[in-house]
Structures are given as C-alpha cells and as structure tokens.
Structure 1
C-alpha cells in the first residue's frame, strides 16, 4: 500500500514538473531541462527514487522560478493567428456595407421600393445579433476552428444563392442566412485574440483587431460602388463575397491552429480531429516506429457542446448588463450615422454611387486610428493602475493571476478614459447632423465623420477589452452577448432613423441621437461604482457551484468504485 502511494505521488510530481517545464521551455527555451524531465519520466525507477534524483530536483527548482506562460504560440504565429482572425471577422461588416451603394439598383431590378430593400438591412442586423449566441457557445465548448469553418461555409452558400436569386423574398431570406454565417466571426475572432494574448497586452492587439474589422465598413462601399458598375450590376458584390469566403475558408482549413483555451489550454494540449489544421497534421504525423507524444493518461479536457442560452444568462448579470447596454446605445448612434450618411450624401451633394462609397473612407480611417491608439493606451494605463494598487507584478507577468483576485478593481482600471470617449462621441454626433443642415462644404461632414469614427471605435475597443476580462474562459460567448445587445439596438435605430430625419431634419435628429448616446454614461457609471461588488458576487457564486459539481462527481466515482468491488 505504501509503495503504491509512493508511486502515485511520484507520478503526480512528474506531471507537475512536466506542466511547469512546458511553460518554462516556452518562456526560457531551455532544452536541457526538458530533456532531463523526459528522461526522468521514462525512467523505470519508482516515483520516490525519481523524486530524489538530483537532476529532477534541479528541474523542479528551475521550473518553479518561472511564471506559467500564457500561450505557447510563438510571436510570429500569434501575429498570423491575429491576422487570420481579423480577416475572418471583417466578413460581417463587409457583407453589411458592400450592400449600401447598390440599394437603389436592387430596388429597381426587383421592382420594390427602397424602403423594402432597407428592411433587408434591418433583418440582417437582427440575425447578426441572434446567430452569434449559438455559435459563440459552440466555439467556447468545441473550439474555434470548427466554428470558423462552419460559419464560412454557410456564408459562402448564402452568397451563391444571393447572386443567383431573382425575387425580393429570396433576397430577404438569403440575407438572413448570410448574416447567420458571417456575424459569428466577430465574436469568435475576439475570443481568439483573448486566447493567445495575456491581459497586460490584450488592449493593443484587440485594438489592432478592431481597427481591421472597422476598416471594412469604410472600404466595402467603395468595392460595392465599383462592382455595381460591372455587367452583373449589384449581383457582382455577392460573387465577390463568395470568392473571398472560399479563399479564406481554404486558408483557415490549412493553416489556422486551434486556440480555444477550453480545448487546448495555452496551446500545449494537442488538438484532435477537425481542431487540427492540415499544416499541423503534415508536420507532426508520427512514424509507425515512434510512440505517440501523449499517452492515454494525458489529461485532455473533453469537448462538449454548451448551452446557447449562456449568452442570454450573461446579459442578466448586473455588471455585464450595465456595460453591454451602455455600449449598445453608442452602437445605436453609430448605425444611425452610417445609414443616414449614405442616404443624405446622395441627396444633398448629388454624388454618384462610387463617390458615396469613397466618402466612407475618412470614417474607416478614424475608426482604425482610434482603435489602435486607445488599445496601446489601455495596456499602459492598466499596468500603471495595477502598480499603484499593488498588483504590478501580477500584471507584468501577463495578468492571468488576476482571475483568482476578485478584489482587483478591474472596472476602474479599464474605464478610466471611457467618459472622455462618450463625451467626444456625443459632441461629434450632434455636429454631424448640423453640418448637413447648414449646407456646408462636403469637407465639413467628412472631417466630422472621421472624428465620429475615432470616438466610437475608441469606446468600442475599451468595452471589448473589459468584457473579455469579465469572462476570460468564455470570451466568444460574452462577445456574442455583446453582439446581441448592440445589434438589436442598432436594428431599432436603422428602422426609424429615416422617418425621424423626414420629420425634424438632420440637425435635430442627430441632436436626439447624441442625447441617447449620453445616456450611456450614467449606465456605465453603475458598473464603475458597483461593478466590482457584482463581479465578486458572481465569482464566489460560480466557485461554490463548481465546488459542488466536483464533490458530486467524486461521490459518483466513489460509489461506482464501491459497486465494482462488490461485484
């Protein structure tokens, strides 16, 4: 009995050493220690003897001196993953905005009114909010790769149908299918960034991600305007989207590794099945005379399907709800600006479809600049705040240790500049409306539009970084929850903005929109003041639930073991 216990203890020590050593090797690239650990693991001596081995003791001492690495992917591989996630995420805004310049042409070709075609924008946004609640939960449970491939397949097939169909009913139904395929890529992309980048640098890379995503609404109308001049007219846009989706899907299938932390941890746990990229299979295919790198005893978390209602339940959490509804109001204002801008440009300045598309470029530039600058600032400000509150060492090591520190004032660390961003957005949104009413030069609205894009995406980046910090193990699901709230509010805005403009004019319409944007500030203030308390309540509640689940599992296993002995 004692010998068996010693063996178990020794195996436990080996597993601990190997786990620590994997992080050490990734951080310090010290092959000597890894070799000693492997040699000791395959040693035929008992666990107690291995534990007294000087070489193993040296490994333990050295490995313990290094913090666990957040992700084992190399910086170059992380950059490639970030690029692929960003390219996937632009599908949703690209499919939305490439459509705008062709709305009049579609209405004429299908024999319906422009208002009927605008309804397809509203239904697209509704599905854009609902679909990620399903896909986000799947991505957190089964991994990122299967969802990337599935959603791009749906998106590609929908574009094929849109390019071939000839009825208004077909247009509205297939646009909804198109939205259900493309919209999830934003949530999954944000989750992928959180998978590979630690908390202390997440702001920078989330800013880059948002910058690339928000360039799509600016560039897409230009492509839409150019493509509408072709022989296929508005259908050319959907042929273009089909080609992009197929090319991107092939690239992801071949090169994209699995990053989901519930599936591969920090990347050190081997992926299985569809979660393995073609490139990884070609590189790591074992020869017949070689043993597998991981034996059956390796603890690999089981893949499991998660309840899509998790996203809805997240919205019901008080701290999450205050953040999401605050950003949802700002997003409502954003869509009111973009939809109203396209229509008013053509009527006020007599611009062609292509010229209207080109006028979106300053907006995209403002979004990109705001996202990148604020992302870098968020990381620096976060580290400065953490140091001043005694958490500097944890943040400097990556910040993953803060998950077990519910007393850390996360909301105050992330939202210190959010108030400036909200104020800027309100001022520039109001000014945007009065530029058209005053009939000023076209340069006026374009400059204001750059400023609106800057302030909006600065706030969007701040909120995106905060929400993935609130749910670090369910980043795709919480991003999908954010997507649901903002898209439903945005759809409500697009449904009524044209009528309000017709009733009271551009100036007063966007003064009202700016007032709605301002309401976001007191809602966010609730999270700034009470969010820490609400987050701690959720943390301890979930901890108690997990502890009860583990106790029940242990009891079930014990009862099963007792039953086997009796047999």
Structure 2
C-alpha cells in the first residue's frame, strides 16, 4: 500500500481532525449533511460558474471506505480503457479492412477522423447528464451503446455500416473518460487527488500502446479484423455486467457524500436492490436529499459556458497543443516504422510498448508529485492539515498544481524534435524506441497535472469540465492526425517533428498566464457566484415575507 493510501485509510478509520477536515470521523448528523447539499445546489440554481463555496464545518467529504474507493477507481479506470483501446486496436487492421470492403485506405482513414470527432463532441451530452442525474446511469448507458456498436461492427459487411457504427462506438465509449474523472472527484479530496487521477490517466493512456499489439495478433486469426470488434464486444459486456451488479452511485447530486441511499432504479446496484443497502455501514438509513437539492436538467451547453471562462480556456488550449503533438508522434511512429525499418504489423505494435510503459510511469509518478506539491503549498498557506483544503478562493491552487509543469513540456518538445531526426535507415531502432518511451513519461506527467487542475477548478461539475477538455483536445488532435502524414511527405520526419516541438512550446506562455493570473480570475468568478447566490436568497426571503 502506498503512503498516500495508508494516510487515506488512517484518516477514514481512526484520525481526529480539525473542524474543516475533509475525511473526519463519519458524523451521523443527517441534517448537517442535508444543509451541505442544499448549499451546493444553490450554486447550480444560480448557474454556478465556478467551484463550490467553502463547505460548512464538520462536513465529511466522503464516507466510502478506502477499500470501496479503490474498487470504484478500478472500475472507472477499466471503463476509461474502452475509448482509447477501441481507437488503437483498429490501426493495424486498416489495410486489411480496406481490402476486405473494397475501398481505399483513405476512406478507412476517414472512419478514424469521424471517430475522433465524435470522441470530442459526444461527452458534452453524457457528462452533463452525469453531473445532473448521477454517474451510474450514464456508465450503463454509454457501455450499452458501446457493446451494441461492437456487436454490429463484427457482423456488418459494408463501408457505410463501418463508418456509421464507428461513430456509434465512439459516442458510447468516449464519455467514460469524462465520467471517470467525475467519479474520482466525487470520492477524493484535492490533497490526494493527484495519485488517484494518475492511476486513471495511466489507464487511459497506456491503452494506445497495448491495443495495437492485440490488434496485430487478432488480425492474424481466422476472423481477421473482425476479431478486434468481437474482443471489444466481450470486454464491454463483462464490464457492463459487473457495473450493473456492483458499481455504487457516487454522484454528489444524488448521494451527497455517499451516506444517502439513491432512490432512482438505475442509480442503485442490482445487489442493493436484491439485498438492501443496510449491508453498507456507511449509508444512513432514512436519509434523503432535501427538496431544494433535487436534480437539475442536463444541459450540454454547460460545457460551452465552461469553455469561455478565461482560466479554463487558457488551460484547455495549452493542453490541446501538447495532446495534438501526442497524436502526431504516435501516428508518425506507426506509419514510419514499416517503411523505414521494414517491420511487420505485429512488430510495429510491439514497438509501442515502451511508450505505454513511459506514460504509465509518468501518470502515476506525476500524480504522487502533485500531491506532494499540494501539501507543501497548503503548509505555506497556514493549513495544519492539507486534507482540510477544499475550495478556499484565496488558496494558491494554480501555484500548487502548475509549479512543475514547465519541465514535462520542455522535455516533450526536445524529445519530439530528436524523435523525428532519429528516423534514419542507418540509425538503430533503439533510438526512436528510447526517445518515444521517455516522451511518454513526460506526457503522462503533463496530462495528469492538467486533469487534476481542471477537476480542482470545477469539482462539482468535474465530468462537464473534463468533457470540455476532451472536446478541445480531440478536435485539435483530429486535425493533427489528418495532416501529419502530408507534412511528413512534404518536409520529412525531422522537420515535421521540429514543427511539433514548436507547437508544444507554444503551450508554455499559456500556462505562464494561468500561473500568474488564474487565481485572480478564479476569485472573480467566485465573487460573481456569491453575489448571485446572495441575490437569490434575498429574493426567496422577500417572497416568504410577502406570503406571511
């Protein structure tokens, strides 16, 4: 068990905290919990533009035991694997699919582009639904769509069917990234969030390295390229059954901190329906959400409102530049290995393993570094317990999260340029393998840093802010994937990745602006929310006075 997990476990079970501690001993004061939920929903009712107000004292942030939190995080990570896995397992079979369906490779490449477009757009709807009605129903809906799409893809025989069903496959799987981030935000406090988000990020980014290997192996079977879709169908079906039976609801608009039993049919695990919730010691029997904390209607345009916030927009564009480089590197790597080194499809897939290993190490290690930096910032800000930090508008959140972000960006840029020039017929294959593995580590740390910061900025709408991030990065990534091959043919691998490195370096001034100005923008947004909330409360008080 890691030190972070040990601390979590100790806090959950035995430790006594200050009045504002996040994981104090569970308090069986239902009224206090309901008051907390009411305060949260008021922000939503006045069209909350930012994170929640500082919580009342003695609030328990989550009552889920550490063992349950680990299982929830594992389920979220497995769900997140679906989208990148479905993307990358497809690549080794592109030429086989084109030959089998009697179309050009360019037409099959179009199915990759449309997949990425839906990967960016569809989470805006699903994430809004998850923030409004709970995580569990959206998990079930997304994965059901994914399972049906893969079954149909394995059985269909036309290009049009492939194109349309790949869009449906993307619409079902891509939202799990946003919902997974929202799930982790529901059950973790900022001081520990880096580690858990790192695990989540490792799962989502290691898939592009492992999936091509499986895709290459499966393409050699009797079922050829259809075997990949059969595998995805089976994996999705098994995961769906597990979620139906066990996955608890974590959405704070539905279960608060986990102590309130959900009422909706789709919010309740089948085992709870059959055996009852009394078997969970952390659920307060009879507790209900107050009427004022009722669910709001899903609003896909909420992502657009988040996008136009100055601090969020700055982070999203900076992140998208590096993410587009991520796609440019992986696509160029997969296309040039066969032509330069004469590798087979299977060997090309195996060459992605160093990259996947690097991303995994960078994501998890970066998460632990983030938690350490957060604790140091909390100590400098005067907090005796860093876990007591929530949404204090005066806390230097941007400094705590972005203090080291310059290093992975610069490392990625240097390695991208070196990667491009390493592709020479006289050069050993080890050179690009080492470079792409090291760059994977830097990218993993970068992606985790940005994701944690975004969730900290919008913890109550963590799925929506992640969907906004997904929209921007996938659209820019789709553009990069569409032009990188043409640029390589025009100027060669070396200069192409010098351009990619320059694109990554463009993110540095954006994060510098966020580092220096983001706190002020966040406080201004917080003040607007507080003013709107006060105005609404005054209006309600005046109405009650008139009724008397």
**What range is the shorter-chain TM-score in?**
0.7 to 0.9
Question: Does the aligned pair in 1 maintain the 2:73–2:184 contact within 8 Å?
Answer: yes
Instruction: Write the distance in 1 (CA, Å) between the matches of 2:369 and 2:71.
Output: 23
Counterpart secondary structure, 1:417: coil
Counterpart secondary structure, 1:393: coil
Partner of 2:116: 125
Bigger mean CA offset, 273-282 vs 455-464: 273-282
Shift of 1:302: 1.3
1:362 lines up with 2:316 in the alignment: no
Which of the residues 362, 367, 392 maps onto 1:375? 367
Counterpart secondary structure, 2:286: coil
Question: Does the aligned pair in 1 maintain the 2:91–2:212 contact within 8 Å?
Answer: yes
1:454 lines up with 2:441 in the alignment: yes
1:537 lines up with 2:524 in the alignment: yes
In structure 2, the gaps of 5 or more residues are 1-16, 31-55
Counterpart secondary structure, 2:299: coil
1:475 lines up with 2:462 in the alignment: yes
Partner of 1:421: 408
Larger-Rg structure: 1
Partner of 2:381: 389
Instruction: Write the distance in 2 (CA, Å) between the matches of 1:25 and 1:505.
Output: 54
Question: Does the aligned pair in 2 maintain the 1:437–1:506 contact within 8 Å?
Answer: no
Distance 1:544 1:300, change over 3 A: closer
Instruction: Write the distance in 2 (CA, Å) between the matches of 1:72 and 1:285.
Output: 14
Q: TM-score, normalised by structure 1?
A: 0.84
Question: Does the aligned pair in 1 maintain the 2:260–2:289 contact within 8 Å?
Answer: no
Question: Does the aligned pair in 1 maintain the 2:215–2:228 contact within 8 Å?
Answer: yes
- Note the 1:168-567 alignment, pairs <5 A: 168-273=159-264, 274-284=266-276, 293-294=285-286, 301-390=293-382, 392-393=383-384, 395-397=386-388, 399-400=389-390, 403=391, 405-437=392-424, 439-556=426-543, 561=547
Partner of 2:35: none
Distance 1:297 1:183, change over 3 A: closer
Distance 1:488 1:557, change over 3 A: farther
Counterpart secondary structure, 1:437: coil
Q: TM-score, normalised by structure 2?
A: 0.87
Partner of 1:100: 91
Shift of 1:511: 0.6
Instruction: Write the distance in 2 (CA, Å) between the matches of 1:519 and 1:488.
Output: 18
Partner of 1:77: 68
Question: Does the aligned pair in 2 maintain the 1:437–1:507 contact within 8 Å?
Answer: no
Task: Tell me: higher relative CO, structure 1 or 2? Use CA pairs within 8 A at least 6 residues apart.
Answer: 2
Distance 1:295 1:139, change over 3 A: closer
Counterpart secondary structure, 1:423: helix
Question: Does the aligned pair in 2 maintain the 1:217–1:364 contact within 8 Å?
Answer: yes
Shift of 1:158: 1.0
Counterpart secondary structure, 2:298: coil
Counterpart secondary structure, 1:406: coil
- Cα-to-partner distance string for 1:209-236 (whole Å, 9 max, x where unaligned): 1112211111111111111111111011
Shift of 1:107: 1.1
Partner of 2:38: none
Question: Does the aligned pair in 2 maintain the 1:269–1:300 contact within 8 Å?
Answer: no
Q: CA RMSD in A?
A: 2.4
Instruction: Write the distance in 2 (CA, Å) between the matches of 1:296 and 1:507.
Output: 61
Counterpart secondary structure, 1:436: coil
Shift of 1:555: 4.6
Instruction: Write the distance in 2 (CA, Å) between the matches of 1:517 and 1:509.
Output: 13
Distance 1:229 1:386, change over 3 A: same
Instruction: Write the distance in 2 (CA, Å) between the matches of 1:520 and 1:205.
Output: 25
Question: Does the aligned pair in 1 maintain the 2:261–2:288 contact within 8 Å?
Answer: no
Instruction: Write the distance in 1 (CA, Å) between the matches of 2:286 and 2:292.
Output: 10
Shift of 1:481: 0.4
Shift of 1:298: 5.4
Partner of 2:143: 152
Aligned length: 501
Instruction: Write the distance in 1 (CA, Å) between the matches of 2:369 and 2:386.
Output: 15
Shift of 1:357: 1.0
Question: Does the aligned pair in 2 maintain the 1:310–1:477 contact within 8 Å?
Answer: yes
Bigger mean CA offset, 380-389 vs 359-368: 380-389
- Cα-to-partner distance string for 1:511-557 (whole Å, 9 max, x where unaligned): 10110111010111111111111111111112222333344445556
Distance 1:277 1:296, change over 3 A: closer
Shift of 1:558: 5.7
Bigger mean CA offset, 330-339 vs 342-351: 342-351
